[in-house]
Amino acid sequence: MQWTDDGIVLGTRSHGESSVILELYTRAHGRHLGLVRGGRSRRQQPVLQPGNTVHVTWFARLDEHLGNYTVEPSVSRAARLMEGRAGVAGITHLAALARLMPEREVHGGLFEALELIADALPEVSVAAPLMVRFELEVLQELGFGLDLSECAASGATQDLVYVSPKSSRAVSREAGEPWKDRLLALPGFLTGSGVAESADIAAGFRLTGYFLSRHVFEPRGLAMPDARETFVRLVG
């Protein structure tokens, strides 16, 4: 078995004296692991840093085996990401989100979204609204997508400013007014009706955070990643 692909480095863990198990999010093979022999060498270590894009060949005797990677550098971002807290927290959180995807399961478009946000980091004002949208996409791919197309109560498609925490559907300003204290704010940049100011981005993270915690992290016995909290604080 053999294939070649591009992948974003999510992380590594040591294996033996000189090798590492490399975790990538690949374009055509989803989240995928493989052994890199000599991955702890001075030549390989800078290449295998989180956030970098690499071109790899994976090969194994059987498809279900861990397999081996040969790695070539493609886009080096890690050094720039490590320069500030936003870059470090952002790429760490992106990796945590990518790890929610089942291994070797392809989700079209997530690789491109990961690259887009990694390129935008560490400029938090640029990367933050993209991160909110990525969290929404992760929820969608995991089967917990939000329906922001129309009001759950009236069917209206305009002035959608709330989301029901029970139904995960949008609610219009008029329909939601009596229950607004029980609803989540829907920032306009997620519906194309506003720009992404810092307060709106914070509201977006509260929205996605509620559903990520409820549907993804808590059922798996996981806490919300510390890197996410750090990155969200930097938005303000």
Q: Would you say residue 193 has pLDDT above 80?
A: no
What pLDDT was estimated at residue 21? Answer: 98
pLDDT tens-digit readout, 75-123: 999 999 999 999 999 999 999 999 999 999 999 899 999 999 999 998 9
DSSP3 helix / strand / coil % (the chain, rounded to 5): 40, 25, 35
Predicted confidence (pLDDT) per residue in 131-170, tens digit: 999 999 999 999 999 999 999 999 999 999 999 999 999 9
Tell me the CATH number of domain 2-76, given options 3.40.640.10, 3.40.50.300, 1.10.10.10, 2.40.50.140: 2.40.50.140
123-131 mean pLDDT: 94
Greatest C-alpha distance within the chain? 64
- Give, as one character, the DSSP assignment of residue 224: P
CB within 8 Å of 38: residues ≥ 6 apart: 18, 19, 44
The answer to whether 20 touches 14, Cβ cutoff 8 Å, is yes
Tokens of 116: 């887009």
Per-residue confidence (pLDDT) for residue 235, from 0 to 100: 86
Percent of the chain exceeding pLDDT 70 equals 100
Over 80: is that where the pLDDT of 9 sits?
Answer: yes
Give the mean pLDDT of 161-186.
Answer: 97
pLDDT band at 12 (very low <50, low <70, confident <90, very high): very high
pLDDT, residue 14, reads: 96
CA 18 to chain centre: 30
Indicate the domain borders of the chain: 2-76, 80-148+186-235
DSSP secondary-structure letter at 42? Answer: T
**Minimal CA–CA distance to 137: which of 98, 184, 96?**
98
SS3 state at 158? coil
The residue assigned the tokens 């506003």 is 194
Q: Please say if the pLDDT value at position 194 is more than 90.
A: no
Q: Minimal CA–CA distance to 227: which of 7, 6, 10, 48?
A: 10
State pTM to two decimals.
0.94
What pLDDT is recorded for position 192?
86
pLDDT recorded at residue 122: 87
pLDDT for residue 201: 96
List own/partner pairs for 108-115 with CB under 8 A and 24 or more apart: 109/137, 110/25, 110/137, 110/138, 110/141, 111/6, 111/7, 111/8, 111/25, 111/26, 111/27, 112/27, 113/137, 114/8, 114/25, 115/8, 115/53, 115/75
